[in-house]
Structure 1
């Protein structure tokens, strides 16, 4: 078995074993409908060769089931025409598309819903206490799932996935820590799974369509369950065609582990190959990761890597290097109020507009002075427009990436530099070790002050590099960091960083003053360097338009 062998789920044939994992995008319309931005985002991954695309979690209950703004919803037959447009566009590339159905349960946001939030059991859910569901509530929720399944079937979706992971309603029934009911929907494993088994049996009785469930293989919370229980849950659910294993409830990391963790971190904890067709996700970044997954599973799901490079399957097939996800968990995880973005792919979430830009082709050369991320992105962008870049750099290519000392981060971020250099080399472009004299200046827009030789320091900042510098400084000096500074970091990255820093003696203390106070609302990072590089190319084209056409 390899990633490009044909696979089957139920009676559905899928052209390869690469799956775009369901991820929150917030690209749908405020009323829950799909739209051209959302369709273009998914279509780019279908164009890139994914055999199966699973939509982000799609709420079935418009009254109290929403978990994020602009979340996709499936609750009205009036939505069918637009959903049919979505499925039609995926099928154009011979990709299959499943819809993932969810009720957010206790994780539903009260401000987005009009009815009281509920859960299997009333208890503290990260500061919120929902009401306990009645039997009538359970039946009503099941009916909402059935309605959504009917809409999916009539809209041309190839399959349905129930969301039973990540602390949403169905996992709240599964989890012994969250389900304290003493009726037929709580207590034993059979009872905890009853709400799901009733739904799977009813859906399969009515529709000849592949049906699966996403589950957390394990929970990282102190009272969470382990992989053996997660495996038993998957093998105890009836009338499903596949299991899709992710991980996590509330405590990080879930499937999106930051660069501190190993690749294939969920695979490493899966005890054995399950007895059902299995999709497995979790820090799959390259070909080696994908092939390892197939030792225990039937399909490989990539999440953040599909954001970093929509053409991951196509590039693997043709022996090219995909643009790597660096697992920074920054732009892809700012989903409280934002649409999906990616630090290393500035087209993510904006595919409708980047497709238009790619269609214009120019001729001629463009000189680029600087081979940091800004210059390297400028070079690839120029190539995509038909121009031949000539790159000059006096130092080692990679710019400020070369200054990263923290080993976990350095390894992942250097892979991005290697990607650029490999892609340029493949296209016959080398970096000249000298300084350019004309063309565009791709030196960094900002360089933050070096603090590594300041001795004892107290730090109050939102600049990413200073958190890494603090680790180096602490080897010889006292370091204090304002704990509020770390709010810039995504939760799982923040929690691991705190553990790492405290092991090195760094103290997190809120005090009146700090000798390093550096904040930048528009922090110059990888993404902003890429944007700046493309902008420089665009400016050059505008100034020299006649001779480049």
Structure 2
């Protein structure tokens, strides 16, 4: 989860300390800090030109939906990227390693590579956005090369005992061929030396978990567990292939009963909660692990902010996605100063 509370130079602020103090006191077993970009190249004065193309594995444009409006928004916000050269790939690879070393030296216990949600590493991993024909594309193994190389380089650069994990996109909604390719990549990634795997899913084009999952997938999900645990089926497939790899699943969990059932199923080892942690920083101690509350009450806060009628007509669910989190985050973290959420 990216808390977006740093200053313009991406340095921590009092709001960052306030947020993490609240989470540290809330009873969470593990806190993964907000995302950090290893190579920050936003458009702006003295930085990347507004009309300069973004970099990607291949020149595949992002499409935020169907229709003219979605096409215009996609073009204005993202455009068509330029395929990276091998030299540029190696440069970014080194930046990942340098960032991991800095995290280790700063006192963090580990890092998690972001290989999900359509961002840089996940663009290399999937054939949809990686059309390269060199050593970084063409086969599942080649598409995973940059991730494997980064993990191996980090392992050689940080002390033993430093944790290295990766967030990985679920392939549960894809074909059996896509699942097998995913498993092939995970074998390579696991052999490179990861300590845990976090399973999530979705992207800007298919925003599972950011919007109502039924809208994102077009599939009606029956049953409480199915509606909450978005990626449990994929976790079960991973568990069969990698029985000893610690699995963390993030996406949709809200109630203690569903969380408990998922853990007892042995399909996963850790449940991740992000937006509920914003709505209630002490959710574990106050609600989920509070045995004075029955299962019907032991449920993390989930607030739905109705989508504006105009956005519904447009049909582009990414616009306004996650607003319920920002709605709560701004008044409780930015305005208040007494560590309340």
The TM-score normalised by the length of structure 2 is 0.74
Compare the two structures and name the one with the higher strand fraction.
1
Choose the corresponding residue for 1:279, options 231, 243, 248.
Answer: 248
Choose the corresponding residue for 1:243, options 193, 197, 216.
Answer: 197
Q: Deviations over 1:48-84 (max 9, x none)?
A: 011111112211113x2x5xxxxxxxxxxxxxxxxxx
**CA apart distance, 1:231:** 4.1
Do the aligned partners of 2:256 and 2:299 also contact (CA within 8 Å) in 1? no
Q: Deviations over 1:344-387 (max 9, x none)?
A: x886434852438x9xxxxxxxxxxxxxxxxxxxxxxxxxxxxx
User: What is the correspondence of 1:128-139 to structure 2 with a 5 Å cutoff?
Assistant: 128-139=79-90
Q: 1:41 to 1:280 in 2, by over 3 A?
A: same
Choose the corresponding residue for 2:260, options 291, 296, 304.
Answer: 291
Q: Deviations over 1:141-186 (max 9, x none)?
A: 0111111111100111111101011111101100111101010000
2:59 is equivalent to residue 122 of structure 1: yes
Choose the corresponding residue for 2:106, options 155, 161, 164.
Answer: 155
Q: Deviations over 1:309-340 (max 9, x none)?
A: 2112113222243552145587xx9889x995
Do the aligned partners of 1:218 and 1:226 also contact (CA within 8 Å) in 2? yes
SS in 2 for 1:161: strand
SS in 2 for 1:325: coil
Compare the two structures and name the one with the higher helix fraction.
2
Q: 1:184 to 1:249 in 2, by over 3 A?
A: same
| Higher normalized contact order (CA 8 Å, seq sep 6+, divided by chain length) | 2
How far apart, in 1, do the equivalents of 2:306 and 2:108 lie?
A: 30
Q: Deviations over 1:62-118 (max 9, x none)?
A: 3x2x5xxxxxxxxxxxxxxxxxxxxxxxxxxxxxxxxxxxxxxxxxxx459526410
Q: Deviations over 1:192-244 (max 9, x none)?
A: 11111111001112212110111101286x99985554444333302111111
Cα RMSD, aligned residues only: 3.2
Do the aligned partners of 1:308 and 1:348 also contact (CA within 8 Å) in 2? no
Q: Provide the aligned length of Structure 1 versus Structure 2.
A: 287
User: What is the correspondence of 1:48-447 to structure 2 with a 5 Å cutoff?
Assistant: 48-62=26-40, 64=41, 110-111=43-44, 114=48, 116-126=53-63, 127=75, 128-207=79-158, 208=160, 209-218=162-171, 226-237=178-189, 238-258=192-212, 260=214, 262-272=227-237, 273=239, 275=242, 276-294=245-263, 295=265, 296-315=267-286, 316-319=288-291, 320=293, 321-326=298-303, 328=305, 341-343=326-328, 348-350=332-334, 353-355=337-339
Q: Deviations over 1:120-157 (max 9, x none)?
A: 00121233211110011001101111111111001111
Q: 1:235 to 1:160 in 2, by over 3 A?
A: same
How far apart, in 1, do the equivalents of 2:278 and 2:95 lie?
A: 30
How far apart, in 1, do the equivalents of 2:187 and 2:249 lie?
A: 15
The TM-score normalised by the length of structure 1 is 0.47
SS in 2 for 1:293: helix
**CA apart distance, 1:278:** 1.0
How far apart, in 2, do the equivalents of 1:196 and 1:255 lie?
A: 24
**CA apart distance, 1:249:** 2.7
Do the aligned partners of 2:303 and 2:324 also contact (CA within 8 Å) in 1? no
For structure 1, which runs of at least 5 residues remain unmatched after alignment?
1-22, 67-109, 359-549
For structure 2, which runs of at least 5 residues remain unmatched after alignment?
64-74, 215-220, 222-226, 308-317
Q: Deviations over 1:493-514 (max 9, x none)?
A: xxxxxxxxxxxxxxxxxxxxxx
How far apart, in 1, do the equivalents of 2:124 and 2:108 lie?
A: 27
Do the aligned partners of 2:140 and 2:181 also contact (CA within 8 Å) in 1? no
How far apart, in 2, do the equivalents of 1:36 and 1:347 lie?
A: 15
**CA apart distance, 1:266:** 1.3
> Which protein shows a greater Rg?
1
Do the aligned partners of 1:26 and 1:340 also contact (CA within 8 Å) in 2? no
How far apart, in 1, do the equivalents of 2:306 and 2:141 lie?
A: 37
Q: 1:346 to 1:202 in 2, by over 3 A?
A: closer
Q: 1:40 to 1:335 in 2, by over 3 A?
A: farther
Q: Deviations over 1:272-299 (max 9, x none)?
A: 3251211101101011122233231111
Do the aligned partners of 1:200 and 1:240 also contact (CA within 8 Å) in 2? yes
How far apart, in 2, do the equivalents of 1:52 and 1:312 lie?
A: 13
